Chain A
């Protein structure tokens, strides 16, 4: 909470400060006390049974306080959002992208766009360090960094008619920083797509039930597309309702693949799935959006909201107990099998989405700012939307923390370590100090009707956790159904992200090349579309294939790269926000984005440094490449590698990852240095001109928050009367 007490003269356009009502003082004191109690229990409980609800309520109380006080402070005092100014949606209204949208509806759209598989997977992997580090980072990170980034970027983009992050960096910081940001955004997008696709591949490999259900989502979406285009145009809810019913039927039907005689032909290897995904991604990105992308987006959005609500409700009913330690030994020693590296910086890298996700800056600048009705609503949409995503991350962390620790580590350690059978996995577990008999692993596999050993990637673990929570909340012996339901829900929106991401990557590529070769930039030029799509798909396909065939396990190699990349993007966004605060002459408040920026830079640069220069081969990419190169030259095979070919593979992958890691970090340094120059100039001058659009008076009346205050209701009613008189 801000310790700064604003004085009258700097009140800006905000309402004059009034004394809070006694009721509000009582309510907020109670919320604060409840939150403090939950945090105390979490911090002090050791070696006893800790209910997962303590985490849930600690998070909720913290979010409420942050939203009420800190978000309000940022919106009103730091940014000086001003409801007497017309937003771009009001000024430029065109019914296509600029459209005044109800704040609650826009909140839904924005949340659907920012929340995907990221907040579900990161916390699951980070659970190897215990529940406490992840919980603290998710809650503190979102309040002081993630939600602040989303809010400020949304606001600054809104004041610039919805300019993109790249455009704003170029115009407000400079062409060098702008170019670096553009390359960084594109490269980061490719890595993100590859990692997301890798999660799906790992979840579907050797799983005929999963493949059956997911494959059916394609014809279901196509049907919806045709329905909405030709049969009953515009009836979105109707089409989505039919789609959801078909989807549930597809999950149930998957349980009968054996009886249908499809089990064998649907048991696909990871390599086959990679080819299928790459082909799918290419086709999907050149098909018209109405046919596949839009209808599948409807499906995945409704599934997403449904599962989140269901999960929150079932947590309250089932009240599960946490199965892992508050802080595990892997957090201290950095030798965990799920991903290598110690608590600092790697917990902060592994959990990006849900705490601080740079990718959101791309959504907060672009679509959403063009639809905001009133300036102050950015608090609800930007800050509130991110709090909601953080809540999803907390739920995922709980789901991963309630399953048996032996099962957790057997699922998330690479096949080279577990050996792939219950017996060898139990042996491996004993080696890391967990005594879980092989029978437990076999029983878990039976319950969900899937192999569970070395199902890395996070999605299967989350699905197992969700299925256990649902089963204990609702009963009925449906665990296998719930498991595949959860897998389906994750795969569905990962595939939507892959579609949409490939398309966005294609637009970026066409736009950039279009600067030199005009024809290529024309989005309706077919050959250009095909070539650009092929390049984007090939780029993420390469990393996907390398990840899938990596003898060391792709997720633990690629996930850190993904997390660091995402947070480097956040560094670019926070750099922009800090620069703009200074340029607007608000340097005294620059700490609001400057402190999270400094923290983010320390974390990502430390992590990048370790991934590039560490001489521990488990952490440093180049150290790993050297180790394997020496062994190969000596004619030996190492670790999980079986032959010279796999040795070579490890060397190549590690080198490529190391080079990429260095490039990402360098690009961010370029942006930061360029921004520092601008900041110094602005500080010397007091402020600098920006590309902010001049104020135009607004004629709209709308409440600022989720619910209209009594005063706003009076104003709205008065406005309606005036309107009637005219």
Chain B
């Protein structure tokens, strides 16, 4: 049961896109970049979506 809840939390974290921030930090650390602030990162990610509005089907 515990494991199931942990899996669910992992899944929600991933599927909601929250995990992208950690992936970005890891990427920066690997390449030695200085990361943006969370606010700036999320802003750029949100604005990148405007150009490719996720199509939603009927």
Contacts and interface: CB of A to CB of B under 8 A. Distances in A.
A240 interface: yes
Main secondary structure of the interface of A (DSSP, over half): helix
B4 interface: no
B3 interface: no
Contact of A234 (B14, B38, B55): B38
Interface in B10-42: 11-18, 21, 24, 27, 38-39, 41-42
Contacts of A290: 46-47, 49-50
Interface residues of B, number: 30
B42 A234 contact: yes
Contact of A289 (B11, B17, B41, B50): B50
Given A237-B16, A288-B50, A105 B11 contact: yes
Contact of A114 (B12, B15, B39, B57): B57
B1 interface: no
B46 A360 contact: no
Interface in A573-592: none
A102 interface: yes
A523 B14 CA distance: 30
A113 B56 contact: yes
Given A97-B52, A116-B57, A233-B39, A289 B16 contact: no
B56 A102 contact: no
A115 B17 CA distance: 20
A233 B47 CA distance: 13
Nearest to A195: B58
B43 interface: yes
Contacts of B53: 289, 293, 500, 503-504, 507
Contacts of B43: 229, 233
Contacts of B41: 233-234
A562 B51 CA distance: 27
B23 to A, nearest CB: 8
Nearest to A230: B39
A114 B54 CA distance: 11
Main secondary structure of the interface of B (DSSP, over half): helix
Contacts of B58: 116-118, 192, 195-196, 353, 357, 359, 497, 562, 566
Nearest to B53: A503
Given A233-B43, A290-B47, A366 B16 contact: no
Nearest to A96: B48
Nearest to A94: B48
A459 interface: no
A329 to B, nearest CB: 30
Contacts of A507: 53
A536 B55 CA distance: 15
B57 A109 contact: no
A229 B46 contact: yes
Contacts of B21: 234
Contacts of B47: 288, 290
Given A95-B27, A105-B11, A363 B18 contact: no
B14 A363 contact: no
A464 B38 CA distance: 45
Contacts of A366: 52, 55
A500 B13 CA distance: 24
Given A95-B27, A233-B43, A102 B54 contact: no
Query: Which of B39, B51, B55, B56 counts the most chain A CB atoms within 10 A?
Result: B56
A228 interface: yes
B36 to A, nearest CB: 11
B56 A109 contact: no
B6 to A, nearest CB: 14
Interface string A281-307: 000000011100110011000000000
A233 B42 contact: yes
A108 to B, nearest CB: 5
A503 B51 CA distance: 10
Contacts of A497: 56-58
Given A118-B57, A294-B46, A109 B15 contact: yes
A289 B8 CA distance: 28
Given A105-B15, A289-B50, A294-B49, A228 B42 contact: yes
A157 interface: no
Nearest to B13: A237
Contacts of B57: 113-116, 118, 353, 357, 359-360, 362-363, 497
Given A118-B57, A500-B54, A236 B17 contact: yes
B12 to A, nearest CB: 6
A608 interface: no
17 contacts: A95-B27, A104-B11, A105-B15, A234-B18, A234-B21, A234-B41, A237-B13, A237-B16, A237-B18, A288-B50, A289-B53, A297-B54, A353-B58, A360-B57, A367-B52, A497-B56, A501-B55
Given A117-B58, A500-B54, 12 more contacts: A108-B11, A109-B15, A195-B58, A229-B43, A233-B38, A236-B16, A236-B17, A289-B53, A297-B54, A353-B57, A363-B55, A562-B58
Interface of A: 95-97, 102, 104-105, 108-109, 113-118, 192, 195-196, 228-229, 233-237, 240, 288-290, 293-294, 297-298, 353, 357, 359-360, 362-363, 366-367, 493, 496-497, 499-501, 503-504, 507, 523, 562, 566
Top 5 nearest A-B pairs (CB, nearest first) are A118-B58, A233-B42, A236-B16, A290-B46, A500-B56
Interface of B: 11-18, 21, 24, 27, 38-39, 41-43, 45-58
